[in-house]
Amino acid sequence: MSPQRRYTLSLSCPDRVGIVAAVSSFFSGHQGWITEANHHADVDGQRFFMRQEILADSLPFDIAALREKFAPIAREFGMDWKISDS
């Protein structure tokens, strides 16, 4: 049995309210199945860090379209981010 393909989103940005909600809502709005989620804030540095794994086959588009569709959220929050394919 081969493992299911996953996309991994890694990001950091200035810390503020609503980041987790925006990212999670984006994936749930596209029926994305988040299999792993980690996040934390560096209070002193005022930075937020997140890593999420999403089942690739749960999304209705490929990784190039995912990057394109996620870019407005990344801009809104000033994210340094990347999405990789397992």
Topology of the domain covering 6-85: Alpha-Beta Plaits (3.30.70)
Burial of 80 (0-12, 13-18, 19+ CB in 10 A): exposed
CA 34 – CA 43 distance, rounded (Å): 26
What's the pLDDT at 38?
A: 98
* Integer CA distances (angstroms), 79 to 30, 41, 47, 58, in order: 20, 14, 10, 24
Residues of the chain with pLDDT under 50: none
Residue the block writes with tokens 């309210």? 17
pLDDT at 3: 76
pTM score, two decimals? 0.91
Residue 54's Cβ-side half-sphere holds a number of Cα atoms within 13 Å equal to: 30
Average pLDDT of the chain is 96
